[in-house]
């Protein structure tokens, strides 16, 4: 038996792990016999999750070979470690099995499968998937297969249109639950001499003895399921092709990624000068036209119609670009040049200055947030509360569209020559002095020793 450990703070318990259709059981090894099993209930779907985690000596995440199960029943969660010399295939195998059982119970609750016969039909499909997975792992020990390819609920949880296949599976299970058919998964397992399953099926059939004579056409039952599976396969192939196009971009470095981002943002950079011309009144006629249209849309409450017009314009542009691509038959590729006139030393210095500017930006953000937080307890609290109260009364009395209209007019006027003449530098200076006079709240950095 392969070794399994429960990782508890300051100690590790060796033991054995058992998976059933209801839960996961860990039995710690004692001196003579195994201790009482620790049960992890997999039927609960509220707030419970199993995910991979890295463990190691003294809490260092060095070995990626463990599973952590978080649940409201366990305060710190349960960490199960699967020691292995090289890879983490055992951990991935058990993690996928736990996920399969959890998804199976979610499936039963979602489609209200209450009949024991229908529930065992679903469970039989899961058991057959696990049996096929173990057989494949025994044949391919050097290169174990992907467990997800053998487990139906884990597979259709991730593939496109997988929910359609699960809906068809639920309908088929309901049909099988009212009739006896030799092609069902439960019948296959019963032929494999599984006594427990055979007894349950026998009791369920005795309760529904009146419906035994009902016969279901195998072809009719599987046509819809086959159609859904074929649709899933076609969607999966398209998605795989689309993902393959992103592989090259994901493997690029930060320099190439920044160059690609700047090239993609070029349309917005080209549109920025136009907005600057409008705001700076470089062409007064165009600025007045934009201002008038904006005020008219807000006053007449045509915001929805304006958004609709923008969307129609986008559709027209897309159609024009598509027609141009069909006529020219050229490849729609983003051309990025990574050539630089800077030397290696200049590139390192510019990167260093970039990190310094990023650090300064983070500091400014932290100071701003702490100043806003300290206003509640500072001497400026009364003035700020009175200003907020007056602003609340203003928004309650004045219609919001008028606020937007006056705000738009104010922005355009302040960027004109008249606005620059009317601007008061003294008020801006008083505001800056008031902001600088606000002290920030103290910051205390705690480490493990101070705790």
pLDDT at 40: 86
Q: What's the mean pLDDT in 92-114?
A: 88
Give the phi and the psi of residue 77 in degrees, each rounded to 5. Answer: 80, 170
pLDDT in tens, 174-186: 766 555 555 566 6
What distance lies between CA 375 and its chain's CA centroid?
36
**Above 70 in pLDDT, residue 162?**
yes
**Could you give the CA distance from residue 125 to residue 186 in angstroms, rounded to a whole number?**
8
Q: What's the mean pLDDT in 87-110?
A: 88
Q: What's the mean pLDDT in 123-147?
A: 85
Supply 227's token pair. 């159609």
Percentage above 90 pLDDT, the chain:
6
**Above 70 in pLDDT, residue 187?**
no
pLDDT in tens, 33-66: 888 888 888 887 767 788 888 887 766 777 888 8
Q: CA–CA distance from 119 to each of 114, 213, 343, 402 (Å)?
A: 7, 21, 69, 62
Beta bridge partners of 23: 41
Q: What's the mean pLDDT in 164-190?
A: 68
Angle at 166 between CA 160 and CA 167, to 5 degrees: 110
**Could you give the CA distance from residue 263 to residue 275 in angstroms, rounded to a whole number?**
20
Supply 429's token pair. 């200076």
pLDDT at 57: 74
The domain spans of the chain are 4-88, 111-238, 284-328, 355-436
pLDDT at 208: 47
**Above 60 in pLDDT, residue 366?**
yes
Which pTM was predicted?
A: 0.66
Average pLDDT in the chain: 79
- Better pLDDT: 419 or 304: 304
**Above 70 in pLDDT, residue 19?**
yes
pLDDT at 210: 42
pLDDT at 146: 84
pLDDT at 170: 83
pLDDT in tens, 320-332: 888 877 776 665 6
């Amino acid at each position: 038996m392969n070794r399994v450990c429960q990782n508890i703070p300051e100690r590790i318990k060796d033991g054995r792990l058992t998976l059933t259709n209801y839960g996961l059981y860990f039995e710690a090894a004692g001196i003579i016999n195994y201790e009482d099993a620790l049960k992890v209930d997999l039927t609960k779907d509220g707030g419970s999750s199993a995910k991979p985690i890295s463990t190691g000596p003294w809490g260092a995440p060095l070995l990626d070979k463990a599973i952590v199960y978080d649940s409201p029943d366990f305060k710190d969660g349960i960490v199960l470690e699967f020691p292995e010399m090289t890879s983490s295939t055992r951990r991935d195998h058990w993690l996928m099995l736990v996920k399969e059982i959890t998804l199976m119970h979610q499936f039963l609750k979602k489609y209200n499968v209450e009949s024991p016969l229908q529930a065992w039909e679903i469970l039989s499909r899961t058991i057959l998937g696990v049996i096929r997975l173990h057989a494949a792992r025994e044949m391919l020990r050097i290169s174990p297969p992907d467990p997800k390819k053998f487990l139906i609920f884990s597979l259709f949880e991730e593939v496109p249109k997988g929910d359609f296949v699960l809906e068809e599976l639920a309908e088929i299970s309901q049909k099988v639950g009212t009739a006896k058919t030799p092609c069902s998964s439960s019948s296959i397992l019963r032929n494999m001499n599984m006594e427990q399953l055979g007894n349950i099926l026998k009791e369920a059939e005795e309760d529904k003895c009146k419906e035994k004579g009902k016969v279901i056409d195998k072809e009719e039952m599987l046509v819809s399921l086959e159609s859904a599976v074929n649709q899933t396969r076609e969607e999966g192939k398209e998605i795989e092709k689309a993902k393959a196009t992103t592989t090259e971009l994901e493997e690029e470095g930060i320099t190439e990624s920044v160059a690609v981002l700047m090239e993609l943002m070029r349309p917005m950079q080209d549109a920025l000068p136009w907005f600057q011309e409008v705001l700076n009144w470089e062409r007064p006629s165009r600025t007045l036209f934009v201002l008038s249209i904006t005020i008219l849309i807000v006053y007449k409450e045509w915001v929805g119609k304006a958004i609709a017009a923008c969307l129609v314009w986008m559709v027209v542009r897309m159609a024009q670009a598509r027609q141009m691509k069909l006529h020219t038959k050229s490849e729609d590729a983003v051309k990025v040049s990574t050539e630089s006139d800077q030397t290696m030393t200049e590139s390192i210095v510019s990167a260093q200055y970039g990190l310094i500017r990023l650090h300064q930006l983070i500091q400014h953000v932290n100071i701003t947030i702490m100043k806003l937080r300290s206003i509640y307890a500072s001497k400026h609290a009364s003035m700020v509360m009175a200003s907020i109260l007056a602003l609340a009364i203003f928004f309650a009395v004045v219609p919001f569209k008028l606020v937007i209209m006056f705000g738009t007019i104010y922005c355009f006027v302040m960027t004109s020559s008249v606005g620059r003449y009317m601007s008061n530098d003294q008020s801006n200076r008083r505001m800056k002095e008031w902001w600088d006079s606000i002290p920030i709240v103290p910051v205390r950095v705690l480490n493990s020793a101070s705790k």
